[in-house]
Amino acid sequence: MINQKKSIKFALLLVIVALNLGCDQVSKVIARKNIQPYEQISIIKDRFTLTKVENTGAFLSAGSNLPNFVRITLLTILPILVLAYGLWFLYSNRNLPQLMQIGVCFLIGGGIGNIYDRIVYGSVTDFLHMDFVLFKTGIFNMADVSIMTGIGLLLLQTLLAKKEEKQITSPEQSID
């Protein structure tokens, strides 16, 4: 019964990974079909725009000028190994805090989305851009949103764990 519950829990985690991957890939299919390269479509008064670019590098095109072998190694092979380790980590550490498990699922789902693009298309399709004066982004995609959400959930889990640990280890102050 315990193994069955663990299997169901892991299956649910894989569903979270698949939902992140699916949202990313569906949004990229729509962007590839409906947005011309470098076309700018204003969604919210030029503050939120759709602009399709093909990114051969990593975050903000970092590494796009590297030699092909180095770029493939650093941006495809290494991330595949890290994502495989992430799946193994989730599977073998079933007692992780739930928030951490969900955060890792978001990271893996987003990572698989971008790796899939890199393998199938030779580049990652980015199409979202925000410019709220004080907060301005590069052009990104839903996989990047998943990755950043995963990082945020892991940071939140770390902060909550530290707060909980501090409450457990610090003596209660009595009111006199």
Which residues are tagged catalytic?
Answer: 126, 144
Quote the CA–CA distance of 126 and 28 in Å, as a whole number.
8
Q: Return the ∠ at Cα 126 (arms to 123 and 130), rounded to 5°.
A: 155
Task: Output the six-digit token pair for 140.
Answer: 């990104």
CB distance 94 to 5 below 8 Å: no
For the CA atoms of 46, 49, 55, 57, what is the dihedral angle to 10 degrees?
A: 60
